Amino acid sequence: MRRSRKVKILATIGPASSDEAMLKKLFEAGADVFRINMSHADHDLMRTLVGRIRKVEKAVGRPIGILADLQGPKLRVGKFANGREALKVGQTFTLDDNPEPGDSTRVFLPHPEILASVEPGHRLLIDDGKLALKAVETDGKRIVCTVVAGTAISDKKGVSLPDTVLPVGALTEKDRKDLDAVLAAGVDWVALSFIQRPEDLAEARKIARGRALLLSKIEKPQAVARLDEIMELSDALMVARGDLGVEMPLEAVPGIQKQITRAARRAGKPVVVATQMLESMISAPVPTRAEVSDVATAVFEGADAVMLSAESAAGAYPVEAVATMSRIAEQVERDPTYAAVINGQRSVPEATGADAISLAAREIAETLKLSAIVTYTASGTTGLRAARERPQVPIIALSPILDTARRLSLLWGTHCVVTEDARDLDDMVNRACRIAIEQDFGEPGDRIIITAGVPLRTPGSTNMLRIAYIGTDGKGGR
């Protein structure tokens, strides 16, 4: 099944979309990768969902990626004697280590790392920013604050700390157990929540040991400040706009989205734009005009994927949400200005053989108006470098490794096919031509360009370009 767009769709699955028949409908509507949110899925449910996705994959004959999203640290205040308290702007309110129920002057904060790290002047945002506090006095056991905005606080509301770097890693004990479980289940990508610094990836990478790729969710200002370092250690990035919009001024988020997207493109790392993209479709069969423009902006920026959250997980119209997102992307990519925007953001290739080959393949394919770029890739690296170029022609990534094809399903413009390794150069060309026809990317008389490494079956050795005619027998010719 060939997609008629280059950007990929990442669909979250949940109560509205977890049975096998619905998963198949979501794939047919346009979902390329499925997200399992470990904030809402226990290990048994996660394994069930992975099994169902793999059955759908077998039924449709296309590699499908699975991303498991770890919950990350959930920072919350304690409970109140009355469940809820009214506050006034300008009053004093304290968060402390006293486990007694709170009142209108104080509440228990069961996070000693916060009590030890917040300094006077730091902001504390409660309940997604509905209540804003500013620390005026701290001693490691309590944080005395002034109420800056908001009028109420209630049990177990979340705490965001835009000015504070916590001296703890991003993995909680729950995350470690979840990570072991999702790796054992064979997911392809693991998303790490609330990354603050590059060191936060170290433990997850040590546990993963290459069994899955790591996607860092950029949702804190501390992560934005150290973006380049975090990107260096990440396999992909996500612009998690929901939490970014809580901890940073809302008007700053669109610019940050562009910064992250372009930085990831320069580095050749996949980037996903997420949160509230078609939010109104949770309860309505059509999106708002503003939401359509929001999705279009991400596509124009050259994001590898756009994500649906509650729209596909718990909404009333999951299939319609995926199909709508797919139609928006297709329309944007047909727009006359799209190619100019994508080309204008193209980066200078790195001084490596793989980048030089990928650049040459794109330029030749576009100059000669070839039907496709076919790249042989075992580890996925060659596919990544080909997609970094954002060619106007499709990329067909051929891999003998199913895990590689599943991982590359997140990648912009890349159509993944699992096939045996080529036996020799003639077989390599013939196989590429045959698959181009089978997958509806070419027909006899068309030309394709092939990139591969010689000697064959040598990972990381991409060093060859070959232009081939597709013969009437489906084989390649000069």
- pLDDT tens-place string over residues 123-163: 999 999 999 999 999 999 999 999 999 999 999 999 999 99
Does 463 score more than 90 pLDDT? no
Q: Of residues 47, 54, 76, 346, which has the active-site annotation? A: 76
* Banded model confidence at residue 354, pLDDT cuts 50, 70, 90: confident
Task: List Cα–Cα distances, 37 to 11, 27, 242, in angstroms.
Answer: 11, 18, 15
Reply yes or no on whether 434 is catalytic: no
- One of 24, 106, 217, 220 is an active-site residue; which one? 217
Reported as a single tens digit per residue, the pLDDT across 385-425 is: 999 999 999 999 999 999 999 999 999 999 999 999 888 88
Residue 378, CA distances (Å) to 363, 406, 433 in order? 24, 12, 19
Three-class HEC string of 266-308: HHCCCEEEECCCCHHHHCCCCCCHHHHHHHHHHHHCCCCEEEE
Does residue 134 carry a catalytic annotation? no
123 is annotated as an active-site residue:
no
From the list 35, 220, 269, 475, the catalytic residue is 35
Identify the structural domains of the chain with CATH numbers, from first to last. Answer: 8-72+170-335 (3.20.20.60), 84-160 (2.40.33.10), 353-477 (3.40.1380.20)
The pTM of this model reads 0.94
Specify whether the CB–CB gap between 115 and 144 falls below 8 A: no
Is 76 among the residues known to form the active site? yes
Looking at residue 435, its amino acid is: I
- Please name the residue that has the structure tokens 């509230």: 276
Cα angle, residue 130 at apex, residues 128 and 136 outer, rounded to 5°? 100
Annotated catalytic residue, options 275, 324, 375, 462: 275
Report CA 407 to chain centroid distance, whole Å.
Answer: 12
258-307, pLDDT tens digit by residue? 999 999 999 999 999 999 999 999 999 999 999 999 999 999 999 999 99
